[in-house]
Amino acid sequence: MALFQISEPGQTPAPHERRFAVGIDLGTTNSLVACVRSGVAETLPDGQGRHLLPSVVRYRADGEPVVGHEAIAVAHEDPFNTIASVKRLMGRGIEDVRKLGQSLPYEFSRGDSAMPRIRTVAGDQSPVAVSAEILKTLKLRATESLGVAIGDAVITVPAYFDDAQRQATKDAARLAGINVLRLLSEPTAAAVAYGLDKNPQGIYAIYDLGGGTFDISLLRLNRGVFEVMATAGDSALGGDDMDHVIAEWIMREAGIKDDADHRQMRRLLRDARAAKEMLTGAERATLSIQRDNNSHWEGVLTRAHLNTLVDPLIDRTLPPCKRVLRDAGIRANAVDGVVLVGGATRMPRVREKVSKFFGREPLADIDPDKVVAIGAALQADVLIGNKRDEEMLLLDVIPLSLGLEIMGGMVEKIIPRNTTIPVTKAQDFTTFKDGQTALLIHVVQGERELVSDCRSLARFELRGIPPMVAGAARIRVSFQIDADGLLSVSAKEMTTGVESSVVVKPSYGLTDSEIEHMLRDSITHAREDEEARQLREQQVDADRLIEAVQRALSADGALLDSKERAEIDRELDGLISARAENDVSRIKRAIKALDSATQTFAARRMDANIRLALAGHKLEEFDTSGDKPTS
């Protein structure tokens, strides 16, 4: 992560230094990495000129895992150790995996947490670890093509991803040594790629049918501000399902029994996909299928017949389309444009149905496979600070309501879906027994009334409540969802002011200690000394802080009096000199000291920012009724 170029202590870094941050589309079927170079966003190819990295990881008994085309090439030879479509498993529990059933030909084992692990010759692998391998490969590709180490990235997720799925994605990035600048929703990234921010205003529908997920989002654009109005979808529907229905058709036609083994299933899926892709341009595709007994079956699939096979799947995308329109309170004819994303939208039948539903031809001039990565790269370039005066601002919403379990297994919603994030919400709880010192809170996500119909996110245990009579304690629990859509919780007993500790047990995710453990165990990190890793991490943190404070001082130094300025300068110099020595704990202390010295400064800068935004407006201006202000 040598992204920050370090200047001599005491010197300010050059103000307009060019940095690189990449955009990553971590897809179900394929993943891509893109970057802005010379003002143009483009996806980065591998050494052989291939842009798409198949999201397939093959584990081997000896040696590092193989990712991408090389893994796919031997997938049918080694199906149990070759993992595809792992995105479907991200943030999912073992029960969900059973529901996905036959579509996933792996063997699962239950780990310590509810997260399923896939049995491979290289040990049991969590979906997070598998995704991390894909991310590492993309990171390496970016580092090789750009010639500088790449550590920062914007990673895209389906807008419909719940907290557990987003958290799993962020954990995978952490395992791969990537600092996530932002988890960006895929439809928003697509809108950015199309430069829709250049239009003054409008409402756009982003129809994204990828390998394994379907998303439909409505975005409102207003002078460079993107706002997600509503979002819906199906996190288990995509092009892979089409391959399956085609494969099943082939099995019926060719007289292949249902108990086809994994190898044959892989071959069938490959042939099914090839036929599907061929029928995008052609009216008929000839199939030649190798049966188990080495005999062949020859057949023809016409586009018309393909349509009857996939229509039920495409039709499943329409109710969510209706729902977003209704959630946003608009009709289809109010939509100013439709953007197609995802490989499956190349299918003529999909385009036909989408055009019919929205009553207009969709936009499709950017490669639907690359559009998300390109948008992510554009946003990464803004976030890393290469476009300082960029007006673009992406406002996101929480895709599913957040609720708490109450009596009788019912859910009380605390943050409704489609609320703009970040958002915080406080809820008061009390004890029901005398002297009770702990409280269990169960957080769920979903729209249904029963806890069992929603997705369990986490159980929080509040400890250290001062003993009181039943009902006397008032525990305020604050739920915070950040700009990435990730939840965090804090709690305080209001009558005594005692902070309760919150112990988070994610229902499907990895705990912090599990991740630490994986980081220590991972091959990349085993090669280096643990202390050296810690030192490097602290140095990166120190550099980041030094630069941030220096930038703040040069921009808003006027907000400080000379005494305050002297204190910050002292702690800044302290950190700069601590940084120069290789002492982890000294750097840690100096970071803390500078952080607390700049607390007031940070708050003042934020206030100044708000005042600037409201400058020239008086509160009375908010009245438009013509009445005189009454207070």
Partner 1 sequence: MTFDIDIDDLAVRYRELQRRVHPDKFANASDQDRRLSLQTTALINEGFHILKDPVQRGRYLLSLRGIDLGEETDTTMDPAFLLEQMEMREALEEVRQADNSHKQLAELANRINQRLDETIGKFRRAFAEDSPEGAGQARNAVREMQFLEKMRREIDNLEEELI
627 lines the binding site for partner 1 (CB under 8 A):
yes
Binding to partner 1 by CB under 8 A, coded x per residue (else -) over 199-218, reads --------------------
Q: Which of 118, 382, 465, 575 binds partner 1 (CB under 8 A)?
A: 382
Strands 30-37 and 22-26 turn out to be antiparallel
As measured in angstroms, the least distance from the Cβ of 624 to partner 1 is 4
Active site residues: 25, 87, 186, 208
Shortest spacing between CB 224 and partner 1, in angstroms: 9
How many whole angstroms separate alpha carbon 361 and alpha carbon 339? 9
State yes or no: residue 427 binds partner 1 (CB under 8 A). no
Q: How far is the CB of 615 from partner 1 (least distance, A)?
A: 10
Q: Does 222 bind partner 1 (CB under 8 A)?
A: yes
Which of the ranges 79-87, 382-390, 469-477, 495-503 carries the binding residues for partner 1, by CB under 8 A?
A: 382-390
Residue 554 in the binding site for partner 1 (CB under 8 A): no
Piece of 104-112, 258-266, 504-512, 603-611 that binds partner 1 (CB under 8 A): 603-611
CA dihedral 256, 260, 262, 263 (to 10 degrees): -50
Cβ 483 vs Cβ 437: under 8 Å = no
Query: CA distances (Å), 182 to each of 24, 153, 286, 394, 569, in order?
Result: 11, 7, 45, 11, 31
Query: Minimum Å distance from CB 546 to partner 1?
Result: 9
Half-sphere CA count of 22, side-chain side, radius 13 A: 29
d(CA 526, CA 385): 33
3-state secondary structure (DSSP) of residue 461: strand
When the beta carbons of 14 and 612 are compared against partner 1, the nearer one is 612
Instruction: Measure CA 484 to chain center.
Output: 7
Taking each helix axis as running N to C, give the angle between helix 584-597 and helix 530-556, from 0 to 180 degrees, rounded to the nearest 10.
20
Residue 133 CB, nearest approach to partner 1 (Å): 26
Q: Is 614 in the site for partner 1 (CB under 8 A)?
A: yes
Q: Is 334 in the site for partner 1 (CB under 8 A)?
A: no
φ, ψ of residue 282 in degrees (nearest 5)? -95, 165
Q: How are beta strands 455-463 and 475-481 bridged, if at all?
A: unpaired
The β-bridge relationship of strands 423-429 and 475-481 is antiparallel
- Region binding partner 1 by CB under 8 A among candidate stretches 71-79, 298-306, 370-378, 383-391: 383-391
Q: Which position among 64, 292, 315, 391 is part of the footprint of partner 1 (CB under 8 A)? A: 391
Give the integer Cα–Cα distance in Å for 165 and 162. 5
Q: One symbol per residue from 117 to 156: x for binding partner 1 (CB under 8 A), - otherwise; what is it?
A: ----------------------------------------
Angle, CA of 516, 490 and 116, to the nearest 5°? 40
Residue from 299, 385, 466, 574 binding partner 1 (CB under 8 A): 385
Alpha-carbon distance 554 to 565, whole Å?
A: 12
HEC-encoded secondary structure of 34-94: EEEECCEEEECCCCCCCCCEECEEECCCCCCCEECHHHHHCCCCCHHHEEECHHHHCCCCH
Residue 317 binds partner 1, judged by CB under 8 A: no
CB of 18 to partner 1, least distance (A): 14
Which of 139, 182, 273, 579 binds partner 1 (CB under 8 A)? It is: 182
Instruction: Compare residues 544 and 586 and give the one whose CB is closer to partner 1.
Output: 544
Q: Which of 205, 190, 238 is nearest to 360 (CA)?
A: 205
Among 198, 216, 484, 183, CA closest to 341: 216
Is residue 181 near partner 1 by the rule CB under 8 A? Answer: yes
- Rounded-to-integer distance, Cα 444 and Cα 406, Å: 11
Q: How far apart are the first and last CA of the chain?
A: 55
For the bound state, the minimum distance from the C-beta of residue 548 to partner 1, rounded and expressed in Å, comes to: 4
- Judged by CB under 8 A, the stretch of 45-53, 164-172, 429-437, 611-619 that binds partner 1 is 611-619
User: Is the CB of 40 or the CB of 483 nearer to partner 1?
Assistant: 483
The nearer residue to partner 1, 128 or 398, going by C-beta atoms, is 398
The CB-of-628 to partner 1 minimum distance in angstroms stands at 9
- Smallest distance, partner 1 to C-beta of residue 359, A: 19
- Please say which residue, 99 or 322, places its beta carbon nearer to partner 1: 322
422 scored as a contact of partner 1 (CB under 8 A): yes
d(CA 397, CA 416): 10
Beta strands 296-302 and 284-290: pairing type?
antiparallel
- Pick the binder of partner 1 from 552, 559, 584, 593 (CB under 8 A): 552
Cβ proximity to partner 1, 55 vs 188, nearer residue: 188
The owner of tokens 């729902």 is 323
- For the CA atoms of 491, 492, 498, 502, what is the dihedral angle to 10 degrees? -10
Asked if 624 is part of the footprint of partner 1 (rule: CB under 8 A), the reply reads: yes
Residue number with CB closer to partner 1 (52 or 384):
384
Site string for partner 1, 462-501 (x = CB under 8 A): ------------------x-xx------------------
Residue 205: other Cβ atoms inside 10 A: 26
Residues in the site for partner 1, rule: CB under 8 A? 181-182, 222-223, 225, 319, 322-323, 326, 382-385, 391, 393-395, 419-424, 480, 482-483, 544-545, 547-549, 552, 595, 598-599, 602-603, 605-606, 609-610, 612-614, 617, 621-625, 627, 629-631
